Chains A and B, each alone.
Chain A
């Protein structure tokens, strides 16, 4: 059964302020959705809600085609289907790139050998720094590592929050390749305000519009 992400009437409120409300969107397997909008318009919040990191105030999110029935994303079983790449942070400064992948594979129950993990790092051009602490990494290298972690377990739903912030041109090419590969196995949500990245999506959701 093909996967389909269905968001119906989503709303998120912090205190008295609605970040967004009445948001409905459907994305099918093989498609990617670009989310753009002004700062504070709720791009990251929308992605966090879909990833199950933040509870939704109203509405419903489902990823159809996972198992026998629809599942609510906040359930943990769902999380194994989600690859998440944050804009910043979300890395342990005293772990190496390889240790990050090893840990990430372990908590997802993925049995990957060290050779496979190193090969995955090589795809993101991090193999030469595989054993270095991430505290010594540049911003672009950190972004590459977040992408490597997000894609390691081949998730059905890949959520990328401004993944090219601080990346060089080669890194941006890498993102194009990652999204193309994801089309063969699932859905991509990409938050970006870079006009040249809008073309990576099959359609675009403009927050705050």
Chain B
């Protein structure tokens, strides 16, 4: 999904010069699309196949949460390895601050992985998964997406990303630290 998004928009914009904001938005939307597919492979499939009960019997909630976080993190790395070169190939951003872009990718990735792990964990045990996921993901993902796009746009402009980076790191760390704590409270409910 993420690859299709980047390639399709890349071809659609051939010969045009997309501004930095659009380029940054496209990058994070593609990463979000790619990662959202992982939600079904995370907690949801464990609940649907009954293997979540094995985990409840055999593992601590924090280790289960950490395992899913690592799975999402690994997927983000793989996805980035595909999306970032394609994005550079098709959209040819101009005077990029490589350090700024790298920092935004790192902080944004941390926030995205933590947000999706948190949302997947919360939704997996409910009866109305799709509707709840949409309702829950919107307020959780929107702030990080706004900060990530804003910071990446600044990096594409070759300027300092410090402001967006601070916000994104704070948000990502809050979700990363708070997620397991909240998860422990409803994992066995």
* Chain A residues within 8 Å of B, Cβ to Cβ: 48, 51-55, 74, 76, 79-80, 82, 84, 86, 88-93, 104, 107-108, 149
B13 to chain A, nearest CB (A): 39
Q: How far is the CA of A76 from the CA of B96 in the complex (A)?
A: 50
Interface residues on B, range: 10 to 19
Question: Would you call B53 and A86 a contact (CB within 8 A)?
Answer: yes
Q: How far is the CA of A107 from the CA of B51 in the complex (A)?
A: 14
Q: How far is the CA of A51 from the CA of B56 in the complex (A)?
A: 9
Residues of A within 8 A of B188 (CB): 52-55, 74
Residues of B within 8 A of A104 (CB): 54, 58
Question: Would you call B58 and A86 a contact (CB within 8 A)?
Answer: no
Known: A54-B188, A55-B189. A93 touches B49 (CB 8 A): yes
Residues of A within 8 A of B15 (CB): none
Known: A52-B188, A55-B189, A74-B188. A84 touches B53 (CB 8 A): yes
Question: Would you call B57 and A89 a contact (CB within 8 A)?
Answer: no
Question: Would you call B50 and A107 a contact (CB within 8 A)?
Answer: no
**Closest 10 A/B residue pairs (Cβ):** A89-B50, A90-B50, A107-B58, A84-B57, A76-B60, A107-B59, A53-B56, A79-B57, A89-B49, A90-B54
Question: Would you call A52 and B57 a contact (CB within 8 A)?
Answer: yes
Question: Would you call A79 and B51 a contact (CB within 8 A)?
Answer: no
* Cross-interface CB contact of A79 among B49, B58, B189, cutoff 8 Å: B58
* Cross-interface CB contact of A90 among B51, B59, B60, B63, cutoff 8 Å: B51
**Identity of the chain B residue whose Cβ is nearest the Cβ of A150 in the assembled complex:** B57
Q: How far is the CA of A88 from the CA of B61 in the complex (A)?
A: 23
Q: How far is the CA of A37 from the CA of B63 in the complex (A)?
A: 36
Question: Would you call A90 and B53 a contact (CB within 8 A)?
Answer: yes
Which of B49, B54, B63, B188 counts the most chain A CB atoms within 10 A? B54
* Cross-interface CB contact of B57 among A51, A55, A91, cutoff 8 Å: A51
Q: How far is the CA of A86 from the CA of B53 in the complex (A)?
A: 9
Known: A53-B188, A104-B58. A91 touches B53 (CB 8 A): no
Q: How far is the CA of A92 from the CA of B51 in the complex (A)?
A: 7
Q: How far is the CA of A88 from the CA of B189 in the complex (A)?
A: 21
B118 to chain A, nearest CB (A): 21
Q: How far is the CA of A89 from the CA of B188 in the complex (A)?
A: 18
Q: How far is the CA of A88 from the CA of B54 in the complex (A)?
A: 12
**Identity of the chain A residue whose Cβ is nearest the Cβ of B59 in the assembled complex:** A107
22 sampled A-B residue pairs with Cβ under 8 A: A51-B57, A52-B56, A52-B188, A53-B53, A53-B56, A53-B57, A54-B188, A55-B189, A76-B59, A79-B58, A82-B57, A84-B57, A86-B53, A88-B50, A89-B50, A90-B49, A90-B54, A104-B54, A104-B58, A107-B58, A108-B58, A149-B54
Residues of B134-189 at the interface with A, using a CB-CB cut-off of 8 Å, are: 188-189
